[in-house]
Amino acid sequence: MENPPLMTNLAVIGGGSWGTALAIVLAPRFERVRLWVYEPDLAQRMCTSRENDVYLPGFQLPAKITIHNELASALDGAEIVLSVVPSHLARSLYKQIAPHLTPAMHLVSATKGLETGTLMRVSEVIRQVLEPKLAPRVAVISGPTFAREVARGDPTALVVASTDRELAETVQTAFSGPTFRLYTSSDPVGVEIGGAVKNVVAIGAGVCHGLGLGHNAVAALITRGLAEISRLAMAMGGQPKTLAGLAGLGDLVLTCTGDLSRNRHVGLELAKGRKLDEIVESMKMVAEGVKTTSATVDLARRHSVEMPIAQQMHAMLQLGRPPQEAIRQLMERSLKGE
């Protein structure tokens, strides 16, 4: 028997695969779930068919989920606002929803990425946009999650992080259910950096697989990638234990090895010789690692952190370095202790 709903209204802002999956898995926990979908035609079809035929086909939406194309109606009366949009859209989205937010609302970001240019984590973007009007209570959720598996009801564990302990515990209690378990953390820096930068490493894992380099190479890439992510997160104030957990190692392993990984797919296709623009244009959903790579390299430079994998992925994505050459340069770096 499912636990009774603990809160009344949830607004999920973003109707991609992850936003739709979250609305589905969280529906039993709330009396009402409103899912805001950007595309008017898709929103209309979802109202009729009760299915997201573009981003998450094959899954019926529970009756209590209502579809909205207007932000005002989606946010009206919401106790928790869960934003699930690509990182490059986060700032403009929060500017649009700011007039509809109240101080009592709990804000949760499920976006895994960094803002290009400012190099801000998404929770920092949210605070910067909203703080002139209200002091927002912000949490982030991240972890090893594929949308289709979450929507299917497969067991899933992830982390909710906030410097506001009460907020993290409130979201944990509101969201956790029979197949969806949340752990609390006081380290949003580590959780957000882990969730963003693992996508960069996953592109490299896709390259290794696409070039037929074997399991040894992928295991080495994951391990050294975790070391890079940990160095950067700690330089920014994150905690080592966070990167050894679900939002660090767990998410990294899933994204680097799972066939459903969009970022791994980008690396696979690059290894086949396809052009980046062609790969991105052929994908329905955003591969966050493509945009995050430049921001990661810039953050590493800002904090004087050595990140050779991220640098080679940047050279491959932005400077046209062949995938074989990027891997070769990683292997031929000067020798050192682990």
- State the catalytic residues: 198
Q: Rounded CA gap, 243 and 233, in Å? A: 8
Which residue, 87, 20, 27, is CA-closest to 54?
Answer: 20
If 0-12 CB within 10 Å is exposed, 13-18 middle and 19+ buried, where does residue 275 land?
exposed
The Cβ-side half-sphere exposure at 150, using a 13 Å CA radius, reads 28
> Which 8-state DSSP code applies to residue 89?
G
Q: Rounded CA gap, 312 and 330, in Å? A: 7
If 0-12 CB within 10 Å is exposed, 13-18 middle and 19+ buried, where does residue 98 land?
middle
Per-residue burial over 276-300, b = 16 or more CB atoms within 10 Å of its CB, e = otherwise: beebeeeeeebbbbbbbbbbbbbbb
Q: Rounded CA gap, 75 and 94, in Å? A: 12
Main-chain phi, psi angles of 333, to 5 degrees: -65, 160
The Cβ-side half-sphere exposure at 3, using a 13 Å CA radius, reads 16
Per-residue burial over 20-55, b = 16 or more CB atoms within 10 Å of its CB, e = otherwise: bbbbbbbbbbbebbbbbbbeeebbebbeeeeebebb
